[in-house]
Amino acid sequence: MVKITAAQVNELRQKTGAGMMDCKKALVEAEGDFDKAIEILRKKGQKIAEKRADRDSSEGAVIAKVNDAATKGVIVSLNCETDFVSKNDSYVEMAHKMAEVALNTSTMEEFLAAEYENGMTVQEKLTEQTGVIGEKIEIGGYKTLEAPFVGSYIHGNKIGALVGLSKAFDGAAEVAKNVSMQVASMGATTLSYKDFDPEFVASETEARIAVIEKDNIELGRLGKTLKNVPKYISRAQLTDAVIAEAEEAIKAELKAEGKPEQIWDKILPGKLERFIADNTTLDQEKCLLDQNFIMDEKQSVAQYVASKGDVSIVNFERVSLAQ
């Protein structure tokens, strides 16, 4: 029988992350053959992975990385089953290393097939670690973004965001990070209301109005103030004709209130701004550029970026454990 030394066990443990006893058993079974022992541990991981395939892997670590040139970024979510595992330093370190590997790939398939270390692919590492940790380990999210300048933000290893700017400039890193924080916090799904499909806006309008009207029935029963029922929910619906009609309605309201006509021009802009705000709730929820900027709610994200000069947001990506 081949004698297995503590040094051999430790070397296998350092290479695979498996427990001391698992490493020793694998080396004994492999009769001291290091490569064969690794294969034994991988097969163990495959068996465990098959058994836990239907388990929920809603915990983990989300990591965002940007290359040295700040022209490409990636977000990777390394998912597991429990919060206990996700907070382990070695697990987070593995997530960071996988994100580094992901920076040199363009698709999930390419990423999973890429080399993680010592000839082992990312997918093989995931399988191995499923055996080592005893939980389902998988890539829950993978997003890449390329632009003239890319910045990132990670919120507590739970949410990662990338933002691409139209050019690099002094202060680009701060702007990209601030907007990435916006993306992480507010969960926009598209850049502008101009990206919406008309059918989507129409169905959302009908659904949202129905919800408010239902709420108002209960509020009325309780004698409470009713919610405003908007006619529109997106800037995409506010045509020039709609704005003109709103302006005329505001003027009629001012006249009925006895406001002198000579001061209407001072009141109209604020009233119109309120009308637009009340009738663009979908944009404020879903569209990054139309959201109130979290660091200064007096301006929109679009206004914040515009204040930095001739620069615009090209695109953004977001990955969260709670997708």
Q: Are residues 167 and 249 in the same domain?
A: no
Mean pLDDT by 10 residues, the chain (323 residues): 78 72 79 80 69 75 97 97 90 96 97 92 89 85 98 96 97 97 96 95 94 93 91 95 94 92 92 92 95 93 96 97 74
pLDDT at residue 172, rounded to an integer: 97
Whether 228 and 273 map to the same domain: the answer is: yes
Q: Do 125 and 234 lie in a common domain?
A: no
- The DSSP bridge partners found for residue 178 are none
What is the pLDDT at residue 323? Answer: 59
Domains of the chain: total: 3
- The boundaries of the domain holding residue 269 are 193-309
Q: Please state, in angstroms and rounded to a whole number, the distance separating the CA atoms of residues 112 and 102.
A: 9
| Closest C-alpha among 160, 203, 164 to residue 62 | 160
| Judgement on whether residues 42 and 83 belong to the same structural domain of the protein | no
Tokens coding 220: 């009325």
Domain boundary among the residues 137, 164, 185 is at 185
Last residue of a domain, one of 128, 151, 185: 185
Report the phi/psi class of residue 134: left, alpha or beta, with left for phi > 0 and alpha for psi in -120 to 50.
left
CATH number at residue 105: 3.30.479.20
136 within a domain of the structure (yes/no): yes
Find residue 47's DSSP bridge partners. Answer: none
**What is residue 189's three-state secondary structure?**
coil
Instruction: Kindly state whether residues 176 and 70 are assigned to the same domain.
Output: yes
Nearest to 144 by CA among 188, 110, 115, 175: 110
Nearest to 17 by CA among 120, 156, 139: 120
Total number of residues shown for the chain: 323
Are 305 and 213 part of one and the same domain?
yes
Are both 24 and 99 inside the same structural domain? no
Residue whose C-alpha is closest to residue 105's, from 139, 60, 156: 139
Task: Please say whether the beta carbons of 209 and 282 come within 8 A.
Answer: no
Residue 237 domain-assigned (yes or no): yes
For residues 280 and 295, give the distance between their C-alpha atoms in angstroms, rounded to a whole number: 21
* Short-list 321, 318, 284, 323, CA closest to 153: 318
CATH number of the domain bearing residue 45:
1.10.8.10
pLDDT at 104: 96
Q: How far is CA 300 from CA 21, 162, 182, in A?
A: 58, 19, 11
Residue 17 is predicted with a pLDDT of 64
Q: For residues 162 and 216, state if they share a domain.
A: no
pLDDT score, position 50 = 65
Residue burial 25-60, b: 16+ Cβ < 10 Å; e: rest: bbbbebeeeeeebbebbbebbeebbeebeeeebebb
Same domain, 156 and 203: no
In a domain, 280, yes or no: yes
- Element housing 275 (H / E): helix 264-278
Q: Which helix (H) or strand (E) holds 91?
A: helix 89-102
Structural domain contains residue 164 = yes
- Residue 259 placed within a domain: yes
Say whether both 32 and 124 belong to one domain.
Answer: no
**Cα 232 from Cα 143, distance rounded (Å):** 33
Per the domain annotation, does 73 fall within a domain? yes
Q: Are 318 and 153 in contact (CB under 8 A)?
A: no
Domain identity same for 247 and 148? no
Of 141, 168, 185, the one marking the end of a domain is 185
**318 assigned to some structural domain:** no
Residue 319, in any domain of the structure: no
pLDDT recorded at residue 5 = 83
Same domain, 162 and 205: no
Which residues does 8 contact at the CB level (< 8 Å), separation at least 6? 27, 32, 34
CA 254 vs CA 246, 262, 266, 275: distances in Å: 12, 11, 12, 14
Does the pTM exceed 0.85?
Answer: no
